[in-house]
Structure 1
Amino acid sequence: MTSNRKAIVIGAGPGGLASAMLLAGEGYDVTVYEKQPYIGGRTSRLEFEGYAFDRGATFLMMPQLLEELFESVGRSLHQYVDLVELDPLYQLRFGETRMDATRNREVMKERIEELFPGNGEGYVRFMKEEKLKFDAIAPLLKRPISRITDYIRTDVVKALPKLNAFDTVYGRLSKYYNDERLKYAFTFQAKYLGMSPWECPGTFSILSYLEHEYGLFHPIGGVNAVCDAMAAVVQEYGGTVNTSTGVKKVLSQHGRANGVLLENGEKIEADHVVINADFATAASKLFEDGQLKKYTPEYISSRKYSCSTFMLYLGIDGAVDLPHHTVVFSEDYPKNVDEITRQGVLSADPSIYVHNPSALDPTLAPAGQSALYVLMPVPNLAGVSNWEDIQQEIRSSVLSRLEQEPELAGLSSRIRAEKMITPLDWQEQYHVYRGATFNLAHSLDQMMHRRPHNRFEELEHCWLVGGGTHPGSGLPTIWESARISVKLLMEQDVREGVKMAPRYSAQEVPVWK
């Protein structure tokens, strides 16, 4: 029978909004509750004194995935978001050596040969072999892997020999290149997972392949514009997005989630609850003792978590002569990474990422000025926790390091507005467990069926989306987690005899099914 079903989504991050959009389009009555006064979570917009920034993610890849998500509910991404492709993808700086990466393969090969003689053919092999790996892996990113028996399915059996799971990202790149700097240029993407390329499973060498194959894009207004677009579709289909409305507890009866208790004391009933809050925070705080027997406090604290980030958002007087994305590598990059991820100490010689979108996007700063975003990877709070004492010292050292770059000389004197986020802020203000901005680490023992599943096994009708579940962190995989969880949710309803009436046009055929 056709029925009305109500779904509550906890958290208006990219995974929660994608889930809400898909559910609303499929005919569910959707209500999103977001604790913060804004949407987007770590992919939200930060505004002050006339400047605007992405709070977190600034790299947008694989727009075709987003296009599919919107098309699946009868909408076009491009009706809502203006995407501009970047060339170069980014500039990488190794001392005096600078490499502008591009998805133009002939040009990229020539640049590699010019800067790192003898490595051009390695790039050609990299693109060819990583494509084969990605083609094998892609189906595994589109469906749940919740049981050991999921590994005997045909697509998994075919993919396993290509996963390079027992190698490392650095090990994989060492098979293509003999120059250490060039290896770093194709392994630094392990930081997107908050991991060291010397420890990150070799599976994730596909990250740099995806950038070079599909390109990087900037949405006008910032990556947060994608979250705004999803929220708009939710509301067009009758859903509600509530900000400044925190959820205190997930309610359940007889082993089945049936609503939420808001922080204001109000109880809201629902047929499904979708959780997009930070996984460890949600498992620790959103459930009564004993409600989840697996995810105990001991279990949560024993997990491996990603590194964190120290952030500066700077309103700068005048233009900044830098590409859209710039990565300044430490002189001793292996030591820098080891200090962050294994030793849990701050590096005296850090690597720093600078985002300079104002040259491309005039909407982010007053005329004649720039919105400059600075990120330094640092240990999470299990390593360094005294940020209230050291934050100004770290700020000064970051600015001092940046001013060694010719284009940024005298940067401090040009700052007109400024905000800072430390790992402690990520935890206390943004509810990110241990300030681990990239969520659970992607070690072998925390991947696929060993990662928290898309449905809480112990609680029916309770679903998980975001970087803390399968297939993992990073925007493309977070959006895939939404597709997986929504499909599971709808299959559950079909088994219970419930059929929904989609709100998009009957002529539209959802491409995600």
Structure 2
Amino acid sequence: MNASLPAPAIRRPRPHVAIIGAGPGGLAAAMQLAAGGARVSIYEKDSVVGGRTRTLQAPGGYRFDLGPTFFLYPRILEEIFAACGATLQDEVELLRLDPQYRLIFEGADGRNATLDATPDLDRLEAAIRAIAPQDAPGVRRFMSENREKLAAFKPALERPFLSAADLMAPDMLRSLKHLRPHKMVDGDLRRYFSDPRIRLAFSFQTKYLGMSPFKCPSMFTILSFLEYEFGVFHPRGGCGAVSEAMARVAERLGVEIHLSTPVEEVTFDGARATGLVAGGRAIAADAVVMNADFAHATPKLIPNGIRKAWSDGKIAKARYSCSTFMLYLGVEGRFPELAHHTILLSQEYQRNIAQIEAGEIPSVPSLYIHNPVNTDETMAPPGHSALYVLVPVGNLRGGVTDWEAEAPRFRDIAISRLKALGLHDLESRIRTERMVTPQGWQDEFAVGFGATFNLSHDLLQMLNFRPRNRFNDTRGLYLVGGGTHPGSGLPVIYEGARITAKLVQQDLGMAVTVDTSMAAE
């Protein structure tokens, strides 16, 4: 051999990343890791992708979103698709809604007030003025100050919190005056709106986190701001269409998606994850990313002895979101009087919350109804509707434990409550029906304690105090999804997937291709 010739380049094998779960966080992480050059495999226990962000197919041609029913702040997913050589709008048709939703505030003796929440601020001010004239001037001040709040909150959404020192970073300290961590959402909104109904119009969004506006940290007023600033969208075909598009792009990048393949355990050498066992087969991996529900999966998949920060005892004592009682109703006829999204807010709203927190079944519950066929006729057969009814209820921790006995009675209460929306003859027109109770969320959909919005987002379960993206006390094991930082909600989960993918790339010595730039202009 000629000594003057350069030595042949040593080709390093592509690192293998195994992902548990094909929910939105797992799919987003897979896309980015594959685009960065990793070999990626997803192992999903169900026969479809999407986790709770999937489309249910019902007899007769009805289609329902299982969980999320709208798409908010598409910019993050647009950036993820672009980083993977794709375009979100080419893969999914997103329809912007106006009104975004209709709020019905129940009053005494049937004297209800209705607010169509439009992103047109002139019209929104006029609609508020018709209910509470003194509160209309607060709208633009709310928007302006929350625009600043979102900018201040960006550091917490775009990076991992891996130690207590991260809480003391200069940008975090500068953000405190905007975030007002000592206040709750309803209390913060009193600076803009005096009428409790208008405050509720800008705070019911805390239910996206499974929390009460009276106990949810004030930083989450940005949820309603995001809706008015950037829009509420319906993906044609339902939110499952977004998950299916993500899976298509991932597979084009070489990701292997193994459906109907449950994971039995994560394997370790000491505290380092070495792979997993799925479908009875051992799979070696350089990194493992867990997208399964945190409270449900962690005690089953990760040995308790490794988890000092999040032991079984800590998981059992943690605070969790409320649950939901669900009805998916295929109904003959159309309901043009219903908006695409309608929220019925009980006159006893605060009592509802107290009952849920006490583990009681709400007596006169508030509820949400999704009527997508007014926007998207693909969701039901011609002349029919696919109605999704959600009623917040307590989770399985300290609440109702015998939902098999309680469900028929509560189902009748929910159907009866729909009469307040003008649906008086609904029962006779139901052609297909499916019910999911908190017990069903736990047993059928593997949601810990039936808490559909995961760990509660109180101050001591956020940032550094939430399970970390590089999972506490382990090496080579990472988390994505609502149970880790930054938290629940699709845009936040997608941002969390960017954080996790970047950590994996750094730890495996790969080129970092993930750009975490939420809300960058």
Alignment partner, residue 28 of structure 1: 38
Identify which of 443, 450, 473 aligns with 2:488: 473
CA distance in 2, matches of 1:35, 1:189: 31
- Could you say which residue in structure 1 is the equivalent of 2:394? 379
Matched with 1:48 is: 58
Structure 1 residue corresponding to 2:14, chosen from 4, 9, 12: 4
Maintained 8 Å contact 2:18/2:41? yes
2:289 counterpart (263, 271, 274): 274
Deviation at 1:35, TM superposition (A): 0.7
Match status 1:195 vs 2:206: no
Per-residue CA deviations over 1:410-440 (Å, capped at 9, x if unaligned) read 0111101110100000001111111000000
RMSD: 1.5
Counterpart for residue 153 of structure 1 = 169
1:199 match: secondary structure: coil
Kindly, what percent of the aligned residue pairs are identical? Answer: 45
Amino acid of the structure 2 residue aligned with 1:109: E
C-alpha separation in 2, matches of 1:126 and 1:294: 38
Conserved? CA contact 1:196–1:338, under 8 Å: no
How far off its partner does 1:288 sit?
2.6
| Alignment match of 1:258 (pick from 266, 274, 282) | 274
Structure 1 outlier segments of 4+, above 4 Å:
509-513
Contact 1:130–1:209, Cα closer than 8 Å, also in 2: yes
Amino acid at match of 1:4: R
Task: Return the offset for 1:31.
Answer: 0.7
Indicate conservation of the 8 Å contact 1:71/1:510, yes or no.
no
Counterpart contact for 2:47–2:259, Cα < 8 Å: yes
Q: CA, structure 1 residues 159+3, in 2 after alignment: closer, same or farther (shift >3 Å)?
A: farther
Please give the per-residue CA displacement for 1:445-491, whole angstroms capped at 9, x wherever unaligned. 10110011001132211100000011011111111110000001111
Query: 76, 89, 95: which is aligned to 1:65?
Result: 76
Whether the aligned pair in 2 keeps the contact of 1:32 and 1:242 (CA below 8 Å) is yes
Contact 1:164 1:202 survives alignment (8 Å): yes
Closer, same or farther: CA 258–414 of 1 in aligned 2, 3 Å: same
Q: Give 1:182's aligned residue.
A: 198
Q: In the alignment, which of 88, 101, 106 is matched to residue 77 of structure 1?
A: 88
- Residue in 1 aligned with 2:377? 362
Instruction: Report the equivalent of 2:426.
Output: 411
Look up the match of 2:247. 231
> Deviation of residue 33 (structure 1)?
0.5
- Any conservation in 2 of the 1:69–1:512 contact (CA below 8 Å)? no
C-alpha contact (below 8 Å) 1:72/1:511 kept by paired residues: no
In 1, the alpha carbon distance for the partners of 2:180 and 2:283 equals 46
1:403 is displaced (CA, Å) by 2.0
What amino acid maps onto 2:374 in structure 1?
Answer: A
Cα distance per residue 1:109-144 (max 9 Å; x no partner) = 111112211111111211111111111102220101
Q: How does 1:329-340 map to 2 (within 5 A)?
A: 329-340=345-356
- Contact persistence 2:23–2:49 (CA under 8 A): yes
What residue is the counterpart of 1:324 in the other structure?
340
* Aligned equivalent of 1:506: none
Which has the higher mean CA deviation after the structures are superposed, 109-118 or 481-490?
109-118
Question: Would the aligned equivalents of 2:469 and 2:479 in 1 still touch at CA under 8 Å?
Answer: yes
Unaligned runs of 5+ in 2: 1-10, 107-111
How far does residue 499 in structure 1 lie from its aligned partner after superposition? Answer: 4.9
> 2:3: which partner in 1?
none
Q: Is the 8 A contact 2:235 2:241 kept in 1?
A: yes
Corresponding residue for 1:138? 154
* Count of residues in Structure 1 that have an aligned counterpart in Structure 2: 500
Residue 297, structure 1, aligned to residue 308, structure 2 = no
After TM superposition, list the pairs within 5 Å mapping 1:453-464 onto structure 2: 453-464=468-479
| Residue number in structure 2 paired with 1:122 | 138
The answer (yes or no) to whether the contact 1:3–1:499 under 8 Å persists in 2 is: no
Q: What is the rounded CA distance, in whole Å, between the counterparts of 1:344 and 1:390 in structure 2?
A: 13
- How far 1:338 moved relative to its partner? 1.7
Q: Distance in 1 between matches of 2:315 and 2:271?
A: 21
What is the distance in 2 between the residues matched to 1:212 and 1:386? Answer: 40
Aligned-pair distance for 1:2?
5.0
* Aligned with residue 361 of structure 2, among 333, 342, 346: 346
Question: C-alpha distance in 2, partners of 1:365/1:344?
Answer: 35
Which of 90, 99, 103 aligns to 1:88? It is: 99
Per the TM alignment, residue 99 of structure 1 is displaced from its structure 2 partner at its CA by: 0.3
Partner letter of residue 407 of structure 2? Q
Aligned to 1:110: 126
Shift in Å, 1:510: 5.9
Unaligned residue ranges in structure 1 (runs of 5+): 503-508
- Kindly provide the amino acid, as one letter, of the partner of residue 118 in structure 1: Q
| SS in structure 2 at match of 1:70 | helix
**SS of equivalent to 1:397:** helix
Closer, same or farther in 2 for the Cα pair 1:511/1:255, shift >3 Å?
closer
Residue 26 of structure 1: how far off its partner (Å): 1.1
Q: Does 2:47 correspond to 1:37?
A: yes
Deviation at 1:331, TM superposition (A): 1.2
Q: Which among 87, 93, 99 is matched to residue 115 of structure 2? A: 99
Contact 2:499 2:516 in 1 (8 A): no
- Deviation of 1:293 (Å): 2.8
Match of 2:6? none
Question: Could you tell me how far apart the structure 2 residues matched to 1:51 and 1:459 are?
Answer: 44
Question: Counterpart of 1:130 in 2: which secondary structure?
Answer: helix
1:421-500 mapped onto 2 (5 Å cutoff): 421-494=436-509, 498-499=510-511
